[in-house]
Each structure stands twice: as C-alpha cells, then as structure tokens.
Amino acid sequence: MPRWQPNPREQLTRAALSLFAERGYENTTVVNIVERAGLGKTTFFRYFRDKREVLFGADSPVDAAGEIAAAPAGTSPLEAVAAALDAAGAQAFTPDRRETLALRQSVIDTNPELQEREALKSIGLAAAMTDALRQRGFPDLTSSVAAELGTLTLRIAFDRWIAAANTADFATLARQVLSEVRAAAAQ
Amino acid sequence: MPRWQPNPREQLTRAALSLFAERGYENTTVVNIVERAGLGKTTFFRYFRDKREVLFGADSPVDAAGEIAAAPAGTSPLEAVAAALDAAGAQAFTPDRRETLALRQSVIDTNPELQEREALKSIGLAAAMTDALRQRGFPDLTSSVAAELGTLTLRIAFDRWIAAANTADFATLARQVLSEVRAAAAQ
C-alpha cells in the first residue's frame, strides 16, 4: 500500500517552513528548500515566485467580504464579522493546519520585513471587511469600527489558537474573544 | 522690513509637496525640489536622505505613548487615548499646518507604496499606544481595543479635519469622532 504523499505545494511549504525555523528565513535558499523536499527547482517555481511567496503567496482561503455579503438580512455589523470569523475557523484555521500555521507565525515573528508584510495583509482584510459592510448599507464609521474590531479579534483569537496549551477550536476562541473585545470597547 | 522666510527644511518640504502634487511623486527628483526651493542639494541632504523622507522623515511631533503615560491616575483606557488625541491637536494638527498636511495626504493617496508606508506608521502608533496602556496596568486585550479604536479615531478625525469644508479644530473633531466610535462599538 503506497504511503500517502502530500501534493508538491504542500511538500515545498513544509520543507521551507522547517528550514526557516531551523536556520532562519534569511539563511534559507530556494535550493535548500527543493533539496529538503526532494523536488526540483522547476517544480518550486511552478508554485512560488520566491521564498517569500511560500509564506504569503496563497490567496486567503477565506473570502471574508463574501461571508459578510452573504449574512442574512438584519444581521448586525459585528454579527456579520462574526460569521466571517466562523468561516475562517471552518475553512482556514482547521485542526490539521494548526501546526503548520504556528510554525509559519514563529518564522514571521523573527523578521521585521515579514512582520510588515503580515501587517499589510491585516490592513487589507480590514479594508475589505469595511467595504463589504458599507455595501450592506451600514454607515462608513460603523463599518470601519466593526471591521477593525473584527480584525483585532481575528489576531487575538489566532494567537490563542496557536498557543501550545490550547485545545479549543478556532471558531469557539473567536466568539469568546469577540465578546471580550465588545466588553472592552463598551468600557 | 525683510519678508519672513521659513527655515530650509520647511522651504524644501513646501517645494517638494507642490511638485509631487503638480507632476506626481514618481516624476519628481531631488534636483527638481532644490531648484524649486532655490536651495542646494547639500542643504537637501542635510535634512532628508531621499524624497520619500520629505513625507515620512519627520519624527511624529506627538509622543502618544508619553501622553498616555502622563494621564492622571484613574483615567480610563479610552480617556487616556483621548488625551493623546488632544495633544495631537495642540502640537501637530494645528491650523497653520492644515494646508500642508492636506497636500501631503493627497500625494500619499495617489501612490500605493506611500500608502503602505503610512499604514505601517499607523500600525506602529497602535502598538506604541497598546504598550503604554499595558504599562498603566490595563489588561492586554483592553489595551489593544482602546489603542485600535484610538488609531481609527485619529484616522477618521484627520480626514474630516483636512476636508475642504471643515472649520472645526482637530481636538474638537477627534472628541466627536471618538464618541461616535464608542457608540458604534457598543451597538
């Protein structure tokens, strides 16, 4: 019975992340990555333009704006944001991806340029959620506040989710953080 | 009676901003800027490393973290943030700087790279305010929420302040936006 093999993209991602963690992002080359994965350079460049794309290349598997747009009529701004967080838990932050995402985050945390890139992604997400809320007819300021609180909730819930001692699933953590964030905002 | 002359830094900044607005940031060189200002290249490089530093070089004249640290004991997180916004109005967003700052913003709004730089400054500000609130003893999550809402308030109040029809001063606008933001967050 043949052993299950992850697809090449996944193999390359795992090889890259373990090398980034072992010897540092700066000290890892594409050649190192393909050697570790047992694949060729051509395969690497079929999936990624460079090593940074291993960390940032994949389109977000969650369409937060689409989830907000699809929420039932009458949903409040923060409830629409919560629906997007639920989708993140169901589609992106699944138990089988937790270890890989934790490793990815530990690599990003060591490098200011990668941290900037991650921060800009977060800003892009907040802008997309703000637009989606506006399109539901909420005022600009209301939309911005809900999107910023949602982005902050995502960040905090993600940190808790990848923390070593955590046993809860992402959606549960996100709901809990969102209620803490609402309480803090109301103080 | 000699006409009042702004200092060289100010002269170079005005020349650069008007050129950026006229012909675009990308199409303006340091040589263009010094010619417009009637000064030499040596003078330019005494103040700025490159043309981007004309937009981003100056340290923020407001020490938001310092203002938060200096708020009286018993001040709530959002009130401490409001004190920092008041200081911004008194020290940085003064009526005499409004036109220059509006012009600077219009230049940034045309260029994605400059927008990224501005966004990262905003993230840095939120992080500094979060730390300052933590150091006052507030929980991490409470500190993050207040800092994010404060940064959002600053952004919205700044947009209103530079809007053509505005006649109110920055601190008044910021207080008004902060109360709208609190109301939206409590919804």
pLDDT bracket for residue B90 (50, 70, 90): confident
- CA-based nearest distance A44→chain B, Å: 28
The answer on B20 and B106 residing in a single domain is no
> For chain B, how big is the Rg over CA atoms in Å?
18
Chain B contact for A31, CB < 8 A? no
Share of chain A above pLDDT 70, in %: 95
CB contact under 8 A, B145 and A123: no
Helix (H) or strand (E) holding A138: none
- CA-based nearest distance A123→chain B, Å: 8
Taking only the tens place, the pLDDT of each residue in A124-181 is 999 999 999 999 999 999 999 999 999 999 999 999 999 988 889 999 999 999 999 9
The answer on A134 and A155 residing in a single domain is yes
The answer on A95 and A26 residing in a single domain is no
For residue B81, give the CATH number of its domain. Answer: 1.10.357.10
The answer on A177 and A164 residing in a single domain is yes
The answer on B129 and B50 residing in a single domain is no
Chain A contact for B185, CB < 8 A? yes
Is residue A79 a part of any domain in this protein? yes
Is residue A3 a part of any domain in this protein? no
For residue B42, give the CATH number of its domain. Answer: 1.10.10.60
CB contact under 8 A, B142 and A177: no
The answer on B14 and B49 residing in a single domain is yes
- CB count within 10 Å of CB A159 equals 15
Name every chain A residue with its beta carbon within 8 A of the beta carbon of B146: 184
The answer on A49 and A127 residing in a single domain is no
pLDDT for A61 beyond 70: no
Give this prediction's pTM.
0.88
- Mean pLDDT along residues A109-126: 91
Q: Average model confidence (pLDDT) for chain B?
A: 92
Name every chain A residue with its beta carbon within 8 A of the beta carbon of B56: none
Residue from the list B77, B181, B187 with its beta carbon closest to the beta carbon of A77:
B187
The answer on A21 and A78 residing in a single domain is no
Give residue A14's domain range: 8-55
pLDDT for A6 beyond 80: no
- pLDDT computed for residue A66 by the predictor: 93
Q: Quote the CA–CA distance of A101 and A148 in Å, as a whole number.
A: 22
The answer on B115 and B26 residing in a single domain is no
Taking only the tens place, the pLDDT of each residue in B154-172 is 999 999 999 978 889 999 9
The answer on A45 and A26 residing in a single domain is yes
Q: How many domains does chain B have?
A: 2
The answer on B80 and B26 residing in a single domain is no
User: Could you tell me how many helices (H) and strands (E) chain A has, helices first?
Assistant: 10, 0
Is residue A1 a part of any domain in this protein? no
Is residue A2 a part of any domain in this protein? no
Is residue B2 a part of any domain in this protein? no
Is residue A94 a part of any domain in this protein? yes
The answer on B171 and B91 residing in a single domain is yes
Residues 6+ apart with CB under 8 A from B15: B33, B34, B36, B37
CB contact under 8 A, A184 and B78: no
Q: Quote the CA–CA distance of A44 and A50 in Å, as a whole number.
A: 9
